Amino acid sequence: MVPSLNTGHPSTSPRRYFIIRAYSVKELLALYNISSKRFARILSPYRDLIGPMQGRTYSPLQVERILACIGTPRVLDVTEMEPLQD
């Protein structure tokens, strides 16, 4: 099952999906928009459930477990934002 990231009302906004695949820590940090120190602290209670990384990445199963433990990351669609005024 692919968790959906709905960015608004279903009839007015397209659905966003989080693709379950192998992710590096750097990719997950960017998706969750947090520091490596905070990410490690958030995952620490779940280390036994998630298990060690497979080389430089978390496996798709581990990514599913991370999502189950800490939830899906919020996605900001920058195409809908107004540019900043100087």
- Domain range for 30 is 15-76
Looking up tokens 């590096």 gives 24
On whether residue 21 sits in a domain, the answer given is yes
30-33: long-range contacts (C-beta < 8 A, 24 or more apart)? 31/73, 31/75, 32/70, 32/73, 33/73, 33/74
On whether residue 40 sits in a domain, the answer given is yes
Domain count for the chain: 1
Write down the pTM of the prediction. Answer: 0.68
On whether residue 9 sits in a domain, the answer given is no
Question: Could you give the CA distance from residue 9 to residue 19 in angstroms, rounded to a whole number?
Answer: 21
Dump pLDDT digits (tens) for 22-39.
Answer: 999 999 999 999 999 999
- Binning pLDDT at 50, 70 and 90, where does residue 73 land? confident
On whether residue 7 sits in a domain, the answer given is no
On whether residue 48 sits in a domain, the answer given is yes
On whether residue 67 sits in a domain, the answer given is yes
On whether residue 10 sits in a domain, the answer given is no
